[in-house]
Amino acid sequence: MSRYAFVVCVSLLLLPLLFSAQTASASKLPYTRYEDVPQYLREILRQQPVREQYIAKILAEFRVHASSIKPLTRSLIDQAVAEKTQNERSNQLQRLIRFDQDFDTRVTADEIRKSIERQRSSVEENTGYVDRQVAEIMQLDANKDGVLDYAEMSSLKTLPLGTDHQQQSRVELMLAVDPDGDGALTLDELEAAARSAFSLVDTNHDADLSADEMKAVSQIDVRLSREVQQNRETQAIKAACPLPHPSDASRVFFLAGYGAKAVSPVYIGNQDADTGVISIEVPPNLGPIYLLVSSYEPTIWNITGATDQITQMAVLGSVDEAGRVSAGVTGIDKGRIVFANRTCISQDAWRPTRQGQINPAVITQLEMMLDRQPSVVSAAKSLGSQKISDEGFLGIRLQAFQPVRDGFDEAIWAEALRFKPYGIIDIDDKAVVSPVSAGRYDVMPEWFGISQLVKAGVLKPAAAESSKPRHEVILPDGSGVAVIEGNPTIELPAGAHLRVMVGNSFDVVKDMPRYPSGLYGAVSVKFNFMPGVKLPAGNPGHSCVTQNGEPVGDICSGANQEEE
């Protein structure tokens, strides 16, 4: 066999393979599902229900950017964008340089103002309009020296004047039609794609979409639009909350609260932060756990028990001015903990629906973040100590109030337990893992701090009030069964609680180290600083403060300090 004959034979053998490869590269056509039709073709289909008009409009738009011999490519789009940006910068420079009244190649706010005032029409006869125009143009002043130079006047970063982002986006959508995905959309490819898309919808093949055919298309478009929006929301949530994904073997446990029913001698962030403590006990033999917790108030999550079963812990919390999460964890090593802003969940996770259930939107957002639904969800406004079980989180019932500690006044201690019934949970500040600093309070938060200060002789109940509390045992049905004076450390019947009344007006007779944190709302008090006593550091919250009988600040004017 001659060399020429051999080449011909090989060519004939390879020809079917080459044809097959070309066919495979164009495998997107014809479209078999409307959902597979690119967005660009779907958008024009809603505008042009007649086939030939539909195709003509598409090809006319293509010829604006490319031609029958020059396909549409990414480099062509980038080149067009660069040329357009250059023209816009030049046009903007020409618009702004006309304000240069002294021909020094620089423009000041005063020059802009005088030029606009000379040119404004009767419709715009107001100073506010001129001020807004000057402020808008001076946004280009990158170095804030009050003068626009050539570089700033030609910058489009902060003052886009005429940039057609919508047109650019439309060309991007057109390029996405590219059936074979080679990055070059030809006129023939676009026409074939358009005919395939129209034929898919034109069920009776009359080249004109009927009302019923358009309705069917519209319904699918609405669904696809919702899916696109949901995908955007998912990506936004993932970007705002880049949480690690749970392993396939792990169960996801989610617990949310506004705040805690216990406090600690340790603060998170600073001493003005009213830091609560929520203990979570992990029993053995539960298997791998992905623990996700959320709180509004600064919280230390105290994890105890078989903590080795927690493969990952994600903590959502409020952030400070520096963007750091005001939360901490003990019992879990730093390598297994991640912190994120609680606002990546748009709903208040702890706030139940009217039916008392956790908001379904919260569960949906959790699924978006983790790509799976949590196994267990639980939420409450105020959380006491918890225990994880196969069924979920079990609140550890308080059997008896915590006895008064050394260094605290027992009468005020009882009032403190009314707001934080789980009392004080001791935490080692050195063991706290947190994005913010952790330290020990000089004065305990809320009424525990008041109790400390009364015991130390810094505070004295005002003469018109008594710090001797009355404790009434209230049964679940609301009936009172006993009144107890003094120490409230008694075992209560199941479901019963103590109702406590105590005075909340105090004379400050010695220098106070600082105000207790968290004195807001019903927890607020009245401080009357006696002569010679200095005002302390810290934040009194909603508490009324007087010095030598004169109000300090504006809280006292509307204060209603008395508890029922």
Half-sphere exposure of 347 (CA within 13 A, CB side): 16
Residues 157-184 have pLDDT tens digits of 544 333 444 455 788 899 999 999 999 9
Residue 146 pLDDT: 87
Q: What one-letter code names the amino acid at 216?
A: A
Tokens 């989610």 -> residue: 254
Which of 11-15, 460-464, 482-486, 524-528 has the lowest average pLDDT? 11-15
Residue 482 pLDDT: 60
Which residues have CB under 8 Å from 335's CB, separation 6+? none
Which residues have CB under 8 Å from 48's CB, separation 6+? 54, 57
At 498, the pLDDT band (50, 70, 90 cuts) reads: low
Question: Rounded to two decimals, what is the model's pTM?
Answer: 0.62
**Phi, psi of 559, deg, nearest 5:** -70, 135
Q: How many whole angstroms separate alpha carbon 204 and alpha carbon 198?
A: 11
Residue 561 pLDDT: 39
- The answer to whether domain 76-165 has CATH 1.10.238.10 is yes
Q: Mean pLDDT for the chain?
A: 83
Q: What mean pLDDT do residues 371-389 have?
A: 91
Residue 77 pLDDT: 86
Residue 11 pLDDT: 46
CA dihedral 145, 146, 151, 157 (to 10 degrees): 100
Residue 555 pLDDT: 77
User: Do the bridges between strand 392-395 and strand 386-389 make them parallel or antiparallel, or are there none, so unpaired?
Assistant: antiparallel
Q: Are 100 and 111 spatial neighbours (Cβ–Cβ below 8 Å)?
A: yes
Tokens 């980038």 -> residue: 78
Residues 321-358 have pLDDT tens digits of 888 999 999 999 999 999 998 887 766 778 777 666 78
Residues 59-77 have pLDDT tens digits of 999 998 888 889 999 998 8
Residues in a beta bridge with 551: 546
Q: What mean pLDDT do residues 282-297 have?
A: 95
Which of 119-128, 351-360, 395-404, 501-510 has the lowest average pLDDT? 119-128
Residues 87-145 have pLDDT tens digits of 888 888 888 888 888 888 889 988 888 888 877 654 445 556 787 888 888 888 888 88
What b/e sequence results for 27-47 when a residue is b if at least 16 CB atoms lie within 10 Å of its CB, and e otherwise? ebbebeebeebbebbbebbee
Tokens of 400: 């008896």
Residue 432 pLDDT: 97
Q: How many whole angstroms separate alpha carbon 58 and alpha carbon 198?
A: 12
List the domain boundaries for the chain: 76-165, 245-395, 445-558
User: Do the bridges between strand 107-108 and strand 147-148 make them parallel or antiparallel, or are there none, so unpaired?
Assistant: antiparallel
Q: How many whole angstroms separate alpha carbon 469 and alpha carbon 455?
A: 15
Query: Maximum distance among all alpha carbons in the chain?
Result: 124
More confident residue, 371 or 490: 371
Which of 30-44, 88-102, 534-548 has the lowest average pLDDT? 88-102
For a pLDDT cut of 90, what percent of the chain falls above it? 47
Q: How many CB atoms lie within 10 A of CB 462?
A: 16
Residues 202-243 have pLDDT tens digits of 999 999 999 999 999 899 989 988 888 877 777 777 777 788
> Residue 444 gets which letter from DSSP?
-
> Residue 165 gets which letter from DSSP?
H
Residue 186 pLDDT: 94
459 pLDDT above the threshold of 90: yes
